Structure 1
Amino acid sequence: MDTLSDNQAIPLAVDLDGTLIATDLLWEGLFLLLRKNPLFLFLVPVWLSSGPARLKREIAARVDIDAGGLPYRAEVLSRLRDERAAGREIVLATGTPRKFAEAIAAHLGIFDKVLATDEAHNLTSGRKQAALVEAYGDCGFDYAGNSRHDLKVFDSAREAIVVAPDRHAARWQSTRGGELLETPKPTIKTVVKMLRAHQWLKNGLIAVPMVLSHEYFNVGMMLSCVLAFISFSAAASAIYIVNDFFDLALDRRHPTKRNRPFASGLLSMPFGFASVAVLLTVSLSTALFLPIEFMGVLVAYLVITTAYSFSIKRMLLIDVLTLAGLYTMRILAGAAATGVDVSFWLLAFSIFFFLSLALVKRYVELRSTPLPVGERIAGRGYRAEDQEIVAQAGMASAFSSALVLALYIDSDAVRELYAKPWLVWPLAPIVLYLTMRVWILARRDEMHDDPVVFIIRDWRSQVVVAIGAVLMLMAGI
């Protein structure tokens, strides 16, 4: 009988969080729990007071993970499969709750043994070291890990494989040796993608009240608009990050959203938390330089967007009405920052116009997601058979916005503001062109962006918007 080589005779143990997968299941489980019921947040400190093991156990008892959708590190997974094929014993040694660890082991089918956090013990650092030494002896196993919690295990391993190390593990590897397994690292582009900087374009709506009041060259108002833009952009990015945390499982099943920084594991959730803290500090600090009314609108925006992330986004029709309201809040924020009054006409137009564009987003999701009749789209309140009524409501909202604009153009307010009010009339067909074109492209399956961002970026839309701006400027001369 052939004898095993030294390498084959030595088991290979591998850590889970940050090593085999590019994420941390404790954080992911916590957000799955809060998504189920935000009130669990008040129980987390109680559970944690009894130790990390209880916290993990309580979370695992209430949520399930999608083992097939996790961001596995391809380099590590390939290495484990090759070692297993060569006859080596592969051990999953993790501080993750046993329920999660066994679900992953069952999905991958490459582990001979699972060591994980149980009812009483949090299997990290010294406890993991002791468990492995008890099973295989000192220097009787190789170990792959990534963080400061793995340093004691590295010390007892025959060979250490350091994967995507944090600064503690990187320092250990540089001084003590061991194999370094590099993985893709985030770049500035990754951080910009996390912030969704392209979505900041929407905050240009803050300048609408100033522009419509013809205060184009008022330096004070322009500065206020800039500060309000910075404040709203920072707040919006913070909420986008939180929203990404709640949507990790859904994003990983989406053909394009699976590449988002947190869904793919390129950025860690602790980094995301730190970013949220910085962004909210920037947002609220900037708001202090503006009128108190602006702070009120900003806080309301933060509350509503947070509620949207928690539950509103899954409510039929309430979600799109909320989105339309959030766009309108940007206009109100601009009015609060500059002290300009907002007319009923502008708010009515805004609600209908942005409701139409919000319905475009849902329509595109329904078109691009194959669903059997009667089944809801993941994370939404819509079903396949709702597609036509969503489109009809969207087109009706588009025409309603144009009608409101036409009634406004024929009002006494326009005759008072503009010397040549007849030049403002083309704005109504311009609005119809913008919205109808978006809907036609959506019907053709050619609408892949947020419709508001699309209008801002699309050169044809830019041309007609520029024509409308010139006409308004000429009408006021």
Structure 2
Amino acid sequence: MTSPPLVVDLDGTLIHSDMLHESTLKVLRERPLDVLRIPFWLLQGKAVLKSRLAERMALDPHLLPYNGALLEWLKQQRASGRKLVLCTASDSRIAQVIADHLGIFDEVIASDGATNQAGQQKAETLQARFGKTGFDYAGNSSADLKVWKHARHGIVVNASAGLATQAKAVCEIEQVFPAPSAGLSTWSRALRVHQWMKNVLLFMPLLAAHQLTNVQAWKDLLLAFIAFSLCASSVYISNDLLDLDSDRQHLRKRKRPFASGTLPVFLGVLVSPLLLAASLVLAAQIGTSFFHWLLLYFALTLAYSFGIKRLMLLDCLTLAMLYTIRIVAGAAAAGLTLSFWLLAFAVFLFLSLAFLKRYAELESQSLQGNTKAHGRGYYTSDAPLLQTLGVAASYASVLVLALYLNSEAVTKLYRTPEFVWGAVPIMAFWVSWMWMQAHRGNMHDDPVVFALKDKASLATGVAFAAVLALGALV
């Protein structure tokens, strides 16, 4: 007996994402003014909305997060002679591009700008095309219950245990493909909790001013740390959502929760503004000055995400400023005055780390055979020049540190400045070590994360702290 056609849903089933959400984000990134038209398109119906978005986006089907287990099973079904049909509520232009790319579907049924092929409408379309129980159906959502009700067999994909139970009540389930795990560790990676260590820079002005016994300053800085961390996580999520295509072409970034489809895009759209709101509420409790610096940080990160990151050199300068703003904001939260030396040292050091980050990315892209970094304003051939600029900035930071240690401020803060001079060769070693690791291809594309895991960097940090402590106490 010949098996009936196997009908496969697209969003959340064949791919670990939703093309309506992805197309909206793509239009937001590439044609932001068109986003203002979305409410008017939606008033004309979801089919019209999907059509307008589809005609404004260029889809690369190679980059989508396909459900690997389901796709392999479908290929086996096709090899056995079974007819496969892609039936989706996504627009027909998107569905056809994906079907052509995969090359396993015999037919495509999709929304066409007038009819939205979802839920009951999809069920009626399939009944008219194949007859009642004349097809098997693979789906993932509660809307698919209306389709399973008229299918011979059901294939449940990426669904909760509750939905699987509901599906079994309306038709015989042939196969179940479980949803990817999305627990606390997944959200930790989405929020980039490990990146919160960068916000320790907020405490630098307090340490540099030797105000370790200022209890109120510590309390304010702790709140500031939480506020900056929540704001940073909001930005990280937004950046990931806007950078899906670039991340999916990166060896490591393609595994990020939103790029891989482990977390649905719409959750990121909901969580990001909530994190920002919580951050601003905390910042308002600390003081007006800190609140303004946090707003500047957020505005600059948005500008970076929407365009600056695609501009060569300006992207690195912006990254350096984002690091430096943390120090300035820390001084504002603690009510301290920043020294010129600390700011100058920070700017050059963080500029070096920004160049190091780009250099590592370009080296990685070069190993993949690419001549241009996707979503960036660099060619892989620019790596040697970035290396030169970064090393120069590194040693400029060491020079500023040396000049600071010869200033009057040091004699006022440290009992034995001679011990503190040891910080200069220690810093020179560390920046040289970091660039050597990058040159050898050992560098994580985020130097700060690399340094937190690197034994030599941690030992250097301990040595740096030790000479400062000796200079202050002995």
TM-score range with shorter-chain normalisation?
A: over 0.9
- Structure 2: which amino acid aligns with 1:456? L
For residue 411 of structure 1, report the CA deviation from its aligned partner: 1.6
For residue 201 of structure 1, report the CA deviation from its aligned partner: 1.0
- Structure 2: which amino acid aligns with 1:286? L
Q: Provide the residue aligned with 2:70 in structure 1.
A: 76
Kindly provide the CA deviation profile for residues 342-362 of structure 1, in whole angstroms up to 9, marking residues without a partner as x: 111111111100000110111
- Structure 2: which amino acid aligns with 1:432? A
Provide the rounded CA distance (Å) in 2 between the counterparts of 1:403 and 1:416. 21
Provide the rounded CA distance (Å) in 1 between the counterparts of 2:469 and 2:68. 57
Provide the rounded CA distance (Å) in 1 between the counterparts of 2:272 and 2:472. 43
Q: Provide the residue aligned with 2:361 in structure 1.
A: 365
Q: Do structure 1's residue 136 and structure 2's residue 130 form an aligned pair?
A: yes
Q: Provide the residue aligned with 1:198 in structure 2.
A: 194
Q: Provide the residue aligned with 1:246 in structure 2.
A: 242
For residue 167 of structure 1, report the CA deviation from its aligned partner: 7.5
For residue 388 of structure 1, report the CA deviation from its aligned partner: 1.6
For residue 245 of structure 1, report the CA deviation from its aligned partner: 1.0
For residue 144 of structure 1, report the CA deviation from its aligned partner: 1.0
For residue 373 of structure 1, report the CA deviation from its aligned partner: 11
Q: Provide the residue aligned with 1:278 in structure 2.
A: 274
Provide the rounded CA distance (Å) in 1 between the counterparts of 2:32 and 2:161. 33
For residue 446 of structure 1, report the CA deviation from its aligned partner: 1.1
Contact 2:136 2:154 in 1 (8 A): yes
Provide the rounded CA distance (Å) in 2 between the counterparts of 1:175 and 1:384. 56
Q: Do structure 1's residue 412 and structure 2's residue 411 form an aligned pair?
A: no
- Structure 1: which amino acid aligns with 2:41? W
Kindly provide the CA deviation profile for residues 115-173 of structure 1, in whole angstroms up to 9, marking residues without a partner as x: 00102111111211111111111222111111122121111212222211157734522
Q: Provide the residue aligned with 2:93 in structure 1.
A: 99
- Structure 2: which amino acid aligns with 1:318? L
Alignment of 1:23-422 (within 5 A): 23-166=17-160, 169-170=163-164, 172-173=166-167, 175-176=169-170, 178-179=172-173, 180-370=176-366, 375-422=371-418
Q: Do structure 1's residue 464 and structure 2's residue 460 form an aligned pair?
A: yes
Provide the rounded CA distance (Å) in 1 between the counterparts of 2:76 and 2:370. 44
Q: Secondary structure at the match of 1:82?
A: helix
Provide the rounded CA distance (Å) in 2 between the counterparts of 1:133 and 1:182. 27
Provide the rounded CA distance (Å) in 1 between the counterparts of 2:133 and 2:170. 15
Kindly provide the CA deviation profile for residues 163-194 of structure 1, in whole angstroms up to 9, marking residues without a partner as x: 11157734522544542332432232211111
Residues paired across the two proteins, number: 471
1:444 to 416, 437, 440: 440
For residue 449 of structure 1, report the CA deviation from its aligned partner: 4.6
Contact 1:94 1:123 in 2 (8 A): yes
Kindly provide the CA deviation profile for residues 320-370 of structure 1, in whole angstroms up to 9, marking residues without a partner as x: 000000000110111111111111111111110000011011111121212
Specify whether residues 374 and 461 from structure 1 end up closer, same or farther in structure 2 by C-alpha distance, changes over 3 A only: closer
Provide the rounded CA distance (Å) in 2 between the counterparts of 1:124 and 1:372. 40
For residue 416 of structure 1, report the CA deviation from its aligned partner: 2.2
- Structure 1: which amino acid aligns with 2:108? V
Structure 1: gaps of 5 or more residues: none
Contact 2:224 2:333 in 1 (8 A): yes
Contact 2:17 2:261 in 1 (8 A): yes
Q: Provide the residue aligned with 2:7 in structure 1.
A: 13
Contact 2:145 2:170 in 1 (8 A): no
Provide the rounded CA distance (Å) in 1 between the counterparts of 2:381 and 2:170. 62
TM-score by length of 1: 0.94
- Structure 2: which amino acid aligns with 1:226? L
Specify whether residues 12 and 447 from structure 1 end up closer, same or farther in structure 2 by C-alpha distance, changes over 3 A only: same
Provide the rounded CA distance (Å) in 2 between the counterparts of 1:53 and 1:117. 6
- Structure 2: which amino acid aligns with 1:244? D
Q: Secondary structure at the match of 1:336?
A: helix
Provide the rounded CA distance (Å) in 1 between the counterparts of 2:148 and 2:450. 51
For residue 41 of structure 1, report the CA deviation from its aligned partner: 2.2
Contact 1:138 1:156 in 2 (8 A): yes
Provide the rounded CA distance (Å) in 1 between the counterparts of 2:162 and 2:314. 47
Contact 2:148 2:167 in 1 (8 A): no
Provide the rounded CA distance (Å) in 2 between the counterparts of 1:251 and 1:374. 15
Contact 1:125 1:152 in 2 (8 A): yes
TM-score by length of 2: 0.95
Contact 1:434 1:455 in 2 (8 A): no
Contact 1:248 1:263 in 2 (8 A): yes
Contact 1:64 1:100 in 2 (8 A): no
Kindly provide the CA deviation profile for residues 35-62 of structure 1, in whole angstroms up to 9, marking residues without a partner as x: 1132222122222222211111111111
Provide the rounded CA distance (Å) in 2 between the counterparts of 1:97 and 1:188. 34
Off by >6 Å, runs of 4+ in structure 1: 371-374
Provide the rounded CA distance (Å) in 2 between the counterparts of 1:162 and 1:371. 39
- Structure 2: which amino acid aligns with 1:34? L
